[in-house]
Structure 1
Amino acid sequence: MAELPITSSRTVSVALSDGTSYNAVDVFTRPPDQSEYVFFTEWWVPIPASPTSEHISSATTTSSSETTPTSTPTPTHASVSPTSTSNAQPIQQGSGSGLSTGVVAVIAVACVVAGFILGVIMSFLFLRRRLRALDAGHHASQRDSQEKPLQAISLTDTHIRDQYLIVPTADSKIGSELSALGQLLQQHVENNYHLQPVSRSANELSNALVHLGLGESGAIPVVELAALALDPKTRYVAIQHVIAKIAFISATFNETTTISLLPEPVSLFLSMIPKTKGRMGNPDALESALTRWRQLSAFLLHPRRGSRTALTPSEDTSTHEAERLAVALNTFLSPFVAGDREERYEQENHLREVIVECVTFDYLLFSQPSEYKFCFDSNGREMSLVVCPGLHRVSDEEGSRFPAPGELVILPVVRSI
């Protein structure tokens, strides 16, 4: 079978400068027995020129036709004169549709702004949903707290007492502290008061004792006590008894004194308790109530509740209380202090130091879960005075009272007169 020739054609539109346009066909043909293509152009009829644009449109086709060896196409040759070609205007192929740089920039900025706005909207919706969830949880917790009220803490619950209230101090340590205070009192009296005769009368001194709160309810009448202080032989014993009695009963609930060494809120509350004749009602109930209240007060007044240690007065508090009590005591003690100014200054300073130690001990007793009571009884010994009180524990940690006089902690120190 004979090889067929290969023919390729391309249609070109040419616009000239004089406004005339032509359509032409470029034909490429390779005979079967040759390797090179033969080119010729077929001119077509002119077409009307576009008044606004110049263009070239090109179409290329390739075809294969069956010819006999004896049939050879006779091409019509045409050429474009140099003059016509030189007059052709620059031709732009294809119809361009690209966007300018400004348009692209505007589109990019619009996309960024749209993305930012979308992100803000999504963030707002997410936060609003989260806030609603938190608000719903808060209301749910409030409902739970209202539906499940806290259980009241019972002071009779041993577990609560052992876990939260102040840890009790051993009786042996309390007794040692009181004994040390007795020795300090003795040193103060022996080093700061003289044994010379004084110009005061027993009545004047007894009035001072009454104002201090001793009254006539003591083991010895105040007039007799004043006479013992005037006697140089029994002066030290009488003075030590007076200082000890005033310093320790000032920290006792059931005693009436002009100055209280208890914490100020406690003293104020005790002064507001109505006094009734013979304390009408059940005395055990009153004592038990006071014990409960004292335990909670010691816990609530403590600046470091978690330490569960005894309440201690601040330096300002102890100094202030000591100053007040020292001024009150010196209405009775001043006649027995030497007239020298320096000696009086030393006596006042040392008396304040002794009272500060007594205040610290009083706070220690106040903090204990159990109830304690000072004892100024000389155990029936005649012609004797207590110069340092004894101590009894009269109730346990739950407020249950022991049979009188209670459990002995330390015996009183008694001196003959």
Structure 2
Amino acid sequence: MASVYAVSIRTLWGANGPDPNRAYGELYSGGTTVDWPATLTSISLANGPPITDVRIFTTTFSGTEPTISITRALAQFQSAGTTGTWPAVSTGIFTASPASLTLTTAPPTSSVTSGTRSTDTGTSSLSPPTARPIASPDASTPGLATGAVVGIAIGCALVGLAIGLVAAFCFFQRDRQAQHGNSGGVERQALDSGGAYPTEKGAPSAAEDVQLSRFLLEATPDRDIVQETQAIGALIDQHVESYYHTHAVSVDASAVAPALAQLGFPLTTTTTASPDAYRAATLCLDPRTRQTGLRHVLTRVLLSSIDMKPPPAHGGPPSMLPAAISSFLRAMPASESDRFRDPQANTRALREWRTLSAFLLHPGRSQRTALPADEAAVAAQARELAASLHTFLRLFVHPQQQHQREHLQAVIEECARLGYVLLSHPSDWEFVLDAGVAANRAGGGVVVEAGLGKLQPGSPCAQRLLEPVVVSV
């Protein structure tokens, strides 16, 4: 297929004038610039033989010369692999006298990749066919094309946006560091001044707390805990009524009091709300108040064995809690030695440690149930606690009751199960073992069944869920 075209030769200036090596051809058809054919095979000139060894490189040329102001597709002529001279006379920077020529093309068998086309008979590096501004060959208007202006404007906008983002990031980063430094200074000032504990700057966020709470052990309902506490009180009452006599015992209270002191009773006290070791021994030695005294002693000792507080300095009963928990509680000092002396901070820290310890000790954490009691360990601990109690209770055991020790161990084990439930609970609980002001005004009283209070986070007072059973003596 042959087509008739016209070509204008454009020779660009070099250092010393027009440079023949910078001669480019611009193809015209019907007076309009067109792309060079991708399948060019030969050029037939009107005044010469056909040129069959042709290789044309097409380039999109942005004006860098003073006289070029638009983007044009200019082709450099090559023959036999070297740059040749276009077969037309060109003078000056632009020669606009078109030379008549005929281009012969082959059927398209090219593959297009990123704007480069290759054929079997010739190779042309062509820009993709795109719309271009058209100007006269003699046009020499200075300036940039509209597309170039838009591109430059967009590029400047993007660069400005990037600079703004970097500046904003640096500003906020510096501001955050300044705030962190100031908060650290405030904390150090609070510590140096001996004030209260600093605010919880390093505490986990609320989102982290919520996420962790999804895995911690679930709380046993309050109703179940209250019922279990009442059941233990009933078991102690049944045990005292069944296994201890009411005969007179020829022992002085001062000789019995040290045994109770070893179980956690103070030797002396300034309040009558809770009896000390001597008064408790007196109640147990008197046949008329023996059952009341024994119920109080067992209730106080057994519930103290599952208490989450450090044991008193004067001693206490063997613990019925897991060995890891009881060892830690024994290692804690009885009173703070730091200068803050903030009981709320200690309470919260102990609560967090308790719930996390119960979770980590649980053999099946995914079940999210209360920590199950280790039956073998609980049985061994119950025997130890029963032996400690026997040094005092042996004075009152009925001679015909041979199973008093076994029944006492069963009551202790039941109490230990309640301790495991409270250990796993996210809230703090406390047993009420004091008779209270009202009982004292009425002439004195002794608790025989413990009350139960639940401590809510942030509240200094416990919510009373179970009132203690007080017997006047």
Work out whether 1:300 is the aligned partner of 2:351. no
CA RMSD in angstroms, aligned pairs only: 2.0
Partners of 2:380 and 2:394 in 1: how far apart? 20
Query: Residue 373 of structure 1 corresponds to which residue in structure 2?
Result: 430
Code of the aligned partner of 2:286: D
Query: Of the candidates 425, 445, 468, which is equivalent to residue 384 of structure 1?
Result: 445
What displacement does 1:308 show? Answer: 0.4
Asked whether the 8 Å contact 1:198–1:335 carries over to 2, the reply is: yes
Which position in structure 2 is the counterpart of 1:263?
322
- Greater percentage in helix: 1
Separation in 2 of the partners of 1:408 and 1:196? 38
**In structure 2, distance between residues paired with 1:295 and 1:347:** 35
Q: Deviations over 1:227-280 (max 9, x none)?
A: 110111110010010011011112223243241111100111122223446775
Contact 2:317 2:385 in 1 (8 A): no
Q: Distance in 1 between matches of 2:251 and 2:231?
A: 32
> For residue 471 of structure 2, what is the aligned residue in structure 1?
415
Q: Following TM superposition, by how much is the alpha carbon of 1:197 offset from its aligned partner in structure 2, in angstroms?
A: 0.8
Q: Determine the structure 2 residue equivalent to 1:309.
A: 369
Q: Label 1:192 to 1:205 Cα distance change in 2 as closer, same or farther (>3 A).
A: same
5 Å matches for 1:2-401? 154=204, 156=206, 157-215=208-266, 216-217=268-269, 219-254=274-309, 255-256=311-312, 257-276=316-335, 280=339, 281-340=341-400, 343=401, 345-380=402-437, 381-382=439-440, 383-395=444-456, 400-401=457-458
1:220, CA displacement in angstroms? 1.5
User: Would you say 1:402 and 2:464 are equivalent positions?
Assistant: no
The whole-number CA distance in structure 2 between the counterparts of 1:244 and 1:275 is: 23
Equivalent residue letter for 1:160? Q
Structure 1 CA distance for aligned equivalents of residues 430 and 245 of structure 2: 32
CA contact (8 A) 2:265 2:276 kept: no
* Equivalent-residue separation in structure 2 for 1:259 and 1:155 (angstroms): 38
Q: Distance in 2 between matches of 1:350 and 1:271?
A: 28
The count of corresponding residues between Structure 1 and Structure 2 is 258
Would the aligned equivalents of 2:265 and 2:277 in 1 still touch at CA under 8 Å? Answer: yes
**Residue aligned with 1:356, SS:** helix
By how many angstroms is 1:166 displaced? 0.7
Identity of aligned residues (%): 35
User: How many angstroms apart in 2 are the aligned matches of 1:245 and 1:312?
Assistant: 24
**TM-score scaled by length of structure 2:** 0.52
| Counterparts in 2 of 1:388 and 1:401: CA distance versus 1, 3 Å | farther
* Largest Rg, 1 or 2: 1
Aligned equivalents of 2:288, 2:345: Cα separation in 1: 46
What is the deviation of 1:312? 2.0
Runs of at least 5 residues in structure 1 that lack an aligned partner in the other structure: 1-151
Q: Is the 8 A contact 2:372 2:420 kept in 1?
A: yes
Deviation at 1:162, TM superposition (A): 3.7
How far apart are 1:154 and its partner, in Å? Answer: 4.0
Displacement of 1:300 after TM fit? 0.3
Distance 1:333 1:401, change over 3 A: farther
Stretches of structure 2 lacking an aligned partner (at least 5 in a row): 1-201
Scaled by the length of structure 1, what TM-score is found? 0.59
